[in-house]
Amino acid sequence: MIKFFEYNWQVRDDWFDWCNQLAIEELLKERRGGTGSILYTLFHIIDVEYSWLCGIQAKKDVVFQFADYKTLEKVKSLSNTCRIEVAELLKTNLNELKEEIVSVSWDEDEYTGDDILHHIIAHEIHHIGQLSIWARELELSPITANFIGRKFESIHFN
């Protein structure tokens, strides 16, 4: 479980670096499918991860508005800020989180914490797959999605 978070965060950071080669207009450009734009996809991944983690802890959801984060630097900064909190939580409370029965404001059903953690992981990988299609449309090489063959920065970094 933790390994997938480490993987997702490393791939996300690689995509942030990749984004540096593009003008903000390209990052915000509306594209077909997915969540609509490259930058919004990255924002959405962070937002969903953080919201569900708040949900598992029965904390009130913090709603981020994309209108406040329409630059690469702001989305990267949001990612870094949220990650510190999420990493700390996973590091110290993973087993308890998995056992929680969770209901959240934006969904009628109840889920286990374990299922929500699976959902967060799959959600990010799915959307990153979409970025790779858009990269090819821009005639750029996408970031590799390989799980093997990479060195992970441990989640215990802070």
| DSSP 8-state symbol, 112 | E
- Let me know: does 66 contact 48? Beta carbons within 8 Å: no
Least Cβ distance, residue 135 to its own copies (angstroms):
7
In the complex with its own copies, which residue's Cβ is closer, 56 or 72? 56
Positions in the binding site for its own copies (CB under 8 A): 3-4, 7, 32-34, 107, 109, 111, 114-116, 118-119, 121-123, 125-130, 132-137, 142, 145-149
Least Cβ distance, residue 108 to its own copies (angstroms):
10
Question: How far, in Å, CA of 60 to CA of 94, rounded?
Answer: 19
In the complex with its own copies, which residue's Cβ is closer, 81 or 144? 144
Q: Which residues pair with 103 in a beta bridge?
A: 110
Whether 123 has a binding-site annotation, put simply, is yes
Question: How far, in Å, CA of 31 to CA of 133, rounded?
Answer: 11
- Let me know: does 2 contact 94? Beta carbons within 8 Å: yes
Binding-site members for a divalent metal cation are: 44, 123, 127
Binding-site members are: 44, 123, 127
